[in-house]
Each structure stands twice: as C-alpha cells, then as structure tokens.
Amino acid sequence: MKKIIFLAVVSLTSWTSVDAQKTNYYDAKNELGISIGAGANTEIFSGLAKLTEIAISSIVTTTLTGGMATGYYKYGEESYIPTVSLEYFRRVSKVVAIGGFVAFNGLNRDMLLTWKDNSTGKKTEKKTGEARRRNFSILPTAKFDWFRKHYFGMYSKVGIGISIMKETQKDDMKGGTDFSDTSVIPNYQLTLLGMEGGSSRLRLFAELGTGEQGIILAGVRAKF
C-alpha cells in the first residue's frame, strides 16, 4: 500500500510539473485580443470626422416647402459606434512581438431640412434622411513587453497603416440626395502604457495612448 501511495504521489508530482511547464508564460508565442476604445483618430480629428456638406435637392425643397427652403442640410446629434479592434501578435523574443490589428468605428447623424413659412413665420424642421460614416483600419504593429510577470505585465505598442473611410448621405425623399464617398488615409497607433493582468493564458488589459484604437481602451486577450 505504501508503495502504491508513493508511486501515486510521484506520478501526481510529475504531472503537475509537466502541466506547469506547459502553462509557462513564455511558452505562449501567440496573442489574440479584442478591445473597445474611445477617442480614435477618425472619431476626433475634425478634418476626418466632419461630414461633407451636401446641397439640398431642389426636388425635395419643392415637394416639402414649395421652394421656401434652400441651402444645405442641417445635421442632428451624433450617434457613435465605438472603436472595436481585433489584434494578433506573435512573440519573436521575450520583449518584442510583431503583428497588428484591424479596427472599426462609425458615426450616424440625421439629415434635417429646415424652412420658414414666409406668411406665418413658423419654422419647420423635418428629418428627410440619414448620414453615415464607417471607418475600417488595418495597422501592422509592434508590441514591447518591458515588464513581464506570470500574472501581470506592462507594455507599449507602435503601429502604422491605413484607414478606409466610407461616407454615405441618403435623403429618403423622392428625388433626394444620394451621396457616397470613399477615401484612404495613413493612420497610426501609439500606446504609451499598456497593462494586462490575469492568468498565463487569459488576461484583461487596458491601454492609454493615441491613435486609431483610441486614447483609452480595454479588452481581453488570450495567449497560446
């Protein structure tokens, strides 16, 4: 009986040792993460986030106002789709990992037609359509793990790539404006401070920096 117990303890010890080696932090060469951020470049830079001013269709103004409305559309409150990023890194050393991320965000605003009745002085505002912007980005990125522990780490990231910006403005009225424009711009990500914590395989993380993932972001990543 003592021999059996001894062999069982030895076996359990050996299995635990092997399992611990398998879950060593540095054995995980790959990282896959998803995050949500705020303050991406395509959200906050006025030259990028501003919608194109579109002239109101004469057909629409005649139909709704009898020709009393002219000029450009007025836009309603902004409704944002936050920046969602999916990232992958492959560690090439204890400090450096190479990979990148794809990111997506968006903006919706109502298109409003406003006019004044010259006989009564009454002002009328009517939603006639919706303006949308959708931004898709892909950025090759390098990650530097400059503080590494089994359950906690600190790092920085730097990446450069492109953003594809798609804008549409569709007036739902008959004969209304149907505008579409796509542009491609260079973009970047610079994470000054990133922190992650959890197990050797699954970690929550948060970052502060500037770029297309956002000024501040948080997410979860798996290491394998």
Q: What is the mean predicted confidence (pLDDT) over 151-170?
A: 96
Mean pLDDT along residues 113-120: 71
Average pLDDT, the chain: 84
Question: Are the C-beta atoms of residues 75 and 56 closer than 8 Å to each other?
Answer: no
27 three-class SS:
helix
Does domain 26-223 fall under CATH 2.40.160? My reply is yes
Domain ranges of the chain: 26-223
Q: With contact defined as beta carbons under 8 Å apart, do 189 and 158 qualify?
A: yes
The residue-averaged pLDDT of 146-170 equals 95
In angstroms, the CA 132 to CA 221 distance is 31
Cα–Cα dist 12/30, whole Å? 29
**For the segment 196-215, what is each residue's pLDDT rounded down to a tens digit?**
999 989 999 999 999 999 99
Task: Look at the block and give the residue holding tokens 């898709």.
Answer: 136
d(CA 159, CA 210): 11
Task: Please say if the pLDDT value at position 69 is more than 90.
Answer: no
Q: CA 199, CA 171: separation in Å to the nearest integer?
A: 51
Q: How far is 87 from 64, CA to CA, in rounded Å?
A: 48
